[in-house]
Structure formats: C-alpha cells, structure tokens
Amino acid sequence: MQDWDFAGQLARTLRISGLFLAFYCLVLLLQPGNPVVWGFLIGTATGMWNAFFLSKRLHAAIAAGLPRGGTQVMFGVFLRLVIIMIVLYFVSRTGFANIYAAAAGIFVVSCIFTCSVAGALLKEASFAGFLRYKSKN
C-alpha cells in the first residue's frame, strides 16, 4: 500500500477545475449575459481558491506540529466558510450571477476531488487484490 499523494490529487483537481473555468469562459463569449454561467464561474473559482489555500494551511499545520496544527486547521476551515458566505452574499446582492449556480459551482471542486480520490482508491484496491477476496470455506 502506498502513501496518499494529497498534493498530486489536489493538483489534478485544480487542473480539471481550471478546464471547467475555461469552458465557462468560452460559453460566456457566446452568451455574455447568462447569469447561470456567471454563477458557475464565480463558484468554481471560489472553490479552487478555497482548495488551494486550505492545502497551504494544511502544509503549514503539519510543519507547526500537533498542538498548534489543529488550531490552524480549524481556523482555516472557519476562514473558508467565511469566504463562501461572503461570495454568496455578494452574488445575492448583485444581479449578474445566479446564486444557486454559484453555490453549486463552489461544490464542483469538492466533487471533483472526491471522485478523483475514490477512483484512485478503487484502482489501488484492484491492484492489491482486495476485490478478488476468496473465502476459506
């Protein structure tokens, strides 16, 4: 069994999310006033921002050690939630983006990360022979 490559998974997630952002920008060239696409663009960019800086905080917490690291991680999660609330408040007060699309866009990055990790775990499990378990009977 190998150690989990968190940085590699995060880089893959941000790369895929960047492709989504490029797609949203191409759609906005065709339909510049589409509030749903603007919402997905803002939400996905916010999710990418949160994922990148949360990983930076996790690396700093690991370097700081256990007692101080836990506090840093909790503060980082709190800060990410505040950023999400600020972005959604901004989107709700302006009329150019759809708030539901922005909220869904924020979770796009988390879904990509989760699916990527699940795929990697299934791949590793099939290599390890876990799915070919035979009973002793």
Per the structure, the count of domains in the chain is: 1
Residue owning tokens 């949203």:
24
Residue 28 belongs to a domain: yes
Burial classification of residue 25, based on how many CB atoms lie within 10 Å of its CB (0-12 exposed, 13-18 middle, 19 or more buried): exposed
Q: How confident is the model at residue 37 (pLDDT cuts 50, 70, 90)?
A: very high
Q: Is 110 contained in some domain?
A: yes
Question: Quick check: is 130 in a domain?
Answer: no
User: Does residue 132 form part of some domain?
Assistant: no
Q: Is residue 47 part of a domain?
A: yes
> Does the residue 136 lie in any domain?
no
Whether 125 maps to a domain, the answer reads no
Q: Where are the alpha helices (DSSP H) in the chain?
A: 6-30, 35-64, 66-93, 99-128
pLDDT at 58: 80
pTM: 0.82
Q: Is residue 87 within 8 Å of residue 46, measured between CB atoms?
A: yes
Domain that holds residue 35: 6-120
- Tell me if 137 is assigned to some domain: no
**pLDDT tens-digit series, residues 71-121:** 777 888 898 899 999 999 999 999 889 999 999 999 999 999 999 888 888
